[in-house]
Structure formats: C-alpha cells, structure tokens
C-alpha cells in the first residue's frame, strides 16, 4: 500500500549517506548540494579529481 517504499528509505544503511556539514542531516552519497538546506557538500572525491 505504498508502505514498502517508506520502509526501504528508513532501512537504508547510514553508510550510503553523507551528513551535511551545515545542517547535519543525511543526504545520498552522490549529493553535491544538501537536499535540506542547499549547502554545498564537499566530498574527498571532488578534491581528488580536481587535484
């Protein structure tokens, strides 16, 4: 009844999330901007690629 989708989101591993440095809420790992406060989330991979 639509419950299945919510259950999967709740059960998602914390390892597959990245916390926003500004608001501290969890975002998907590939997020560049926080889905909650729109702050830019800086990830090590981005620095490695540009270096």
pLDDT of residue 51: 47
Burial 9-30 (b: 16+ CB within 10 A, else e): eeeeeeeeebebeeeeebbeee
Tokens of 34: 């926080």
Per-residue pLDDT of the chain in tens (51 residues, 90 and over written 9) = 555 555 555 555 556 888 898 999 999 888 889 999 999 987 655 555 544
Q: Ramachandran region of residue 24, left (φ > 0), alpha (ψ -120 to 50) or beta? A: left
């Amino acid at each position: 009844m639509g419950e299945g989708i919510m259950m999967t989101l709740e059960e998602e591993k914390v390892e597959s999330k990245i916390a926003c440095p500004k608001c501290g809420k969890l975002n998907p790992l590939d997020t560049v901007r926080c889905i909650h406060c729109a702050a830019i989330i800086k990830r090590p991979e981005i620095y490695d690629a540009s270096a």
